[in-house]
Structure formats: structure tokens, C-alpha cells
Amino acid sequence: MNELVLTQINIYPVKSLGGISLTTAVAAARGLQYDRRWLIVDSNNNFLTQREFPLMALIGTRLEENDFVLFQKHAPEELIRVPLSIQDGTALQVRVWEDVCTALHWSEAADKWLSDFLKTSCKLVYMPDSTNRYVDKAYAHNNEIVNFADGYPFLIIGEASLNELNQRLELPVPMNRFRPNFVFKGGEANCEDTWSKFRIGEVHFSGVKPCGRCPITTIDQDLAVKSKEPLKTLSAYRSKNNKVLFGQNLLALSEGKISLGDKLIIEKFSSDYE
């Protein structure tokens, strides 16, 4: 195997909104620092995603000193500022898939800004440190927790995996369709599927299982337009048990700082399990 090197680190401060690319980040048990600590919920406190509201793709995020900025991609002057974290707010019970957990409601002004843009009544909420949302116990090592990501704290995809997919597509797609936290160069297409234990720099990870992909991958993140691709093509060669797989879900086995250019060292492959 040729050398594996980290080429992207991405966080998504608000679930299903635009991401932020970083040069360094802190990995902890529940995910990268600031990743998916914020969530948009409807009037019944159920989570919203691009699956039902593709317009969410058109809200970008960026990091500025002690705040995140949420902005309309096609009208960047239309923006709101959101703190990195909050300690106070009205506690709400919110639903993410089958999980119900406590979140803090922050600002009616932010709610209005989001509701006006998305054309639906919604609220912006934050996951405090006191909330523990657990990963699927069938895959957990030590009752790991996760923020508002779909199921696991981290997702990794190799550049070679995307290159192979794009060679099969009439129109190539960018990596942002798949919302990974980590992207690396080197290795063969989909080699990340086979990693059981590895480290990025000095932070150790465990591969959980390949990631089942949803229709968000078919939404152009700059135009909020849906198509059949890349799921149609992926389903032809990356299907298993009625799921289309691309990328690997991860758990962190240690904490620490990760930087672009860090080497990925594979310590154990999934086939090593008895």
C-alpha cells in the first residue's frame, strides 16, 4: 500500500448545512470539535435535513473568531451569527431518527432567519455537553456518544474512491456530496472499507462499518437541485443488503489534534477479526 496522507478535514457545525474545511481540528469521543453540535428542528422538534428541504444546501457556514456565520450562498450579505457553543437556553426534547435527546433553544431571531429562507417553521437548537446521544450499541466499543450526525462521530473517504466513482459517471461529482470529516490520498478505491484499527497522526480510530448513503448525495450543494446520480451508479457496484455504501464510519479510540498532511497508519484490517 502506498503512503496515505490526510488531505481534507471538514466540520458541519449545523447538521445538513454547508461545511467548513479546516487545516487542524481536535478529535474527541463525540466527533470533531464543533461538528454538528447545532440542529434545525420543525415545530414538533423533529430534525430537518436536505432530504426533505434541499434548500438547506444553499446555507453556507464559516468560522469567524468566536462565532459561526450562516450565510445564503447566493446572497452572502444575508447572514446570521451563531455562537460556537451556548450554556443557557430553553431545554427541548428533540428527535434525530429514533433518538430523543435534550437540546437548548437559542434565538427566535435565528429561527425567523432560517424559517424565512427554508419556507417552513423551524428552530435552531444546540447539543450541550450534558446530553449523551449514544451510537448503535451493536457497533459501540465503550458506549460512545455522537453529536447530531446521523449515526457515528466520524466519516472518512479516500480520494481514490471518489475518482473511481467519477470515472463511471457522465458528470463527475465533488466530494462535498458525501459530507466526510476526513479525506485522504493514497491507497486503492474503497480501501477504507477494510480498516478495523488505524490512526491519523497520533489519534487512534476504529472502523465501524461502511456508510449507507441517502438521497442527499444526489443534491447539488451549490444549486440545491436533485438528480438520480451518483446513487444510481453507486448502486450498480456498491450495494449490499439493499444499502448503497460509500465511505467508512468511525469511532475515536483516543483524543487529540489532527492536521492536514498527517499520515494514516493502518494497524488492523477488518479481516483480522475472528
The pTM score is 0.95
- Per-residue cell: 7: 488531505
Q: What is the DSSP string of 109-154?
A: HHHHHHHHHHTS-EEEEE--TT---BPPTTT-SS--B--SSSS-SE
Q: Scan for cell 459561526, then name that residue.
A: 68
Q: Where are the domains of the chain?
A: 5-272
Note the pLDDT of residue 61: 98
Q: Measure Cα distances from 248 to 116, 120, 196, 245, 251 in Å.
A: 35, 33, 10, 9, 10
State the first-to-last Cα distance of the chain, in angstroms, to the nearest integer: 23
- For every one of its 274 residues, what pLDDT tens digit does the chain have, with 9 covering 90 and above? 589 999 999 999 999 999 999 999 999 989 999 999 999 999 999 999 999 999 999 999 999 988 999 999 999 999 999 999 999 999 999 999 999 999 999 999 999 999 999 999 999 999 999 999 999 888 888 889 999 999 999 999 999 999 999 999 999 999 999 999 999 999 999 999 999 999 999 999 999 999 999 999 999 999 999 999 999 999 999 999 999 999 999 999 999 999 999 999 999 998 643 2
Note the pLDDT of residue 1: 55
Note the pLDDT of residue 272: 44
Note the pLDDT of residue 271: 64
What is the sign of the dihedral through the CA atoms of 247, 253, 255 and 258?
negative
- Geometric angle at alpha carbon 138, from 137 and 141, rounded to 5°: 65
- Taking the C-alpha atoms of residue 260 and residue 118, their distance in angstroms, rounded to an integer, is 34
- Taking the C-alpha atoms of residue 59 and residue 4, their distance in angstroms, rounded to an integer, is 32
